[in-house]
Amino acid sequence: MVVGVVAGSSVAWGRPALYATGLLVDGGSPTVDPDVLRPPQPEPAPPGAPTLLPTAEEGEVPSPEALAERLRAVSRSGIGGRFDLSVVDAAGGAELYREGGGPSIPASTQKILTGVAVLHELGADHRFTTSVERRGARWVLVGGGDPLLTGDTVGGYPARGSLEQLAQQTSEAVEEAGVTEVDLGLDTDLFAGPAWSPDWPENYRDQVTPVSALVVDQGRLAGVSPGPREDRPARAALDRFAELLEDQGVEVGDVDDRSADGSGTTVAEVPSAPVGVLVERMLMTSDNDVAEFLLRHAALAAGEPASFEGGEAVVGAVLDELGIDDEGRRTRDGSGLSRENRLSSETLTAVVGLALSEEGAALRPLVTGLPVAGAVGSLSGRFTDPDSGAGLGEVRAKTGSLRQTNSLAGYTRTADGRLVAFALLVNEAENDYAARVWLDRAASAVSSCGC
């Protein structure tokens, strides 16, 4: 079987977002699919995207005993805490290493479960629509849950829904209707439940925007994260839309952000980036806002409320349908910001292994979107220690960082060319920096295993 390894060191969205937690935050028997490391394709691939270098051999399965010896040789001095570790052969799912036991706090590796839920329920090509409906005398801006909706028309990758383009379409509809002034309304009823998790402390308000079906520019007031966020993102989006309409020469009268009931005629609409691209974005930059949106969309598609509670239900249902053990799992949000989330390293390696397999082709963005050690995404500044050099450019994994909680889950190719999935979770760490260095060294020990 011909398989591939990744080369290249840039993606279109550039430097990774800062870690995504309150104090320091990151933000069955499958066979390996030959096309697993293909660059993202739903949209034109950005310049500098990873390219495939084919290899002829799959390589030898690592010896569990030899791999265990290598991992145990990585010093844990000064870390303390509890380790929950799993390494499996991606081609067959055989357990190669297991230590500790879940459930554990996953931090941002929780986003892998968010990704599997939305990809399973909606598919990689699905898009969300932001629209304007004419309901009686009022023109209503309808939030469709596009997590990357932007106020301006922007180029680049990924393509985004544009409020400016929506205003242009609406102005044309206003002209055709012969209306001299429009009153605006708002509909954000797509999402349900609280916009802010009770598990999130107040100091997370620079890490994630209150969840709403209508948010423009992710509610980021300074355009960066961490950074100040809109308290009322839907109202801010409606005000921005009114300004854009006025820029188009439309006279705007009353602007009412109370929920506009009923249905009407759609006069304008713009699509989001595809779900697969959104999942890749979520994983690559550890985007908390995208994660919370996607979990709600997965819940809706499964017939559950688009809420934190609905997210819990859909993740459990999807894992059960896929035959993945999730004993002890608890899903309190989509981003991993909650310290009440729980899952095991075995659940993570099962999901990653499935996404690497031919049977898991529909889940491919879960692996094509993972950061690359020392190169792109939230791993671009990692693996700088000499003892983790073997993992540079080889390890692809989702990071996770909360206070006293650090994790890394993804896959790598061993020195013998074998593809393996791994999940390394450290809870109750006494030294977060030492824990992250250990994660990099341990992943590199797996990558360099010719055993």
Catalytic site positions? 108, 111, 286
| CA nearest neighbour of 391 among 399, 407, 379, 378 | 379
Alpha-carbon gap, residue 184 to 322, rounded angstroms:
44
- Answer positive or negative: Cα dihedral of 358, 360, 363, 367: negative
Alpha-carbon gap, residue 296 to 213, rounded angstroms:
9
3-state helix, strand, coil in the chain (%, to 5): 30, 20, 45
Alpha-carbon gap, residue 111 to 387, rounded angstroms:
28
Residue that the structure tokens 């598609």 belong to: 301
Q: How many Cβ atoms sit within 10 Å of the Cβ of residue 45?
A: 16
Phi/psi at 325 (nearest 5 deg)?
Answer: -65, 130
Q: How many Cβ atoms sit within 10 Å of the Cβ of residue 125?
A: 10
Residues 6+ apart with CB under 8 A from 153: 162, 164, 165
DSSP states of 142-199: E----TT-BSS---SSS---BHHHHHHHHHHHHHHHT-SEEEEEEE-TTS-S-SS-TT
Residue that the structure tokens 């791993």 belong to: 379
Alpha-carbon gap, residue 402 to 142, rounded angstroms:
35
DSSP H helices, 6-54, are: none
Host H or E run for residue 245: helix 233-247
| CA nearest neighbour of 89 among 356, 394, 274 | 356
Residue that the structure tokens 């499935």 belong to: 354
CB 356 within 8 A of CB 30: yes
Degrees, nearest 5: CA angle 112-113-117: 120
CB 373 within 8 A of CB 440: yes
Whether the link from the prior residue into 42 is cis, omega within 30° of 0, is no
Residues shown for the chain: 451
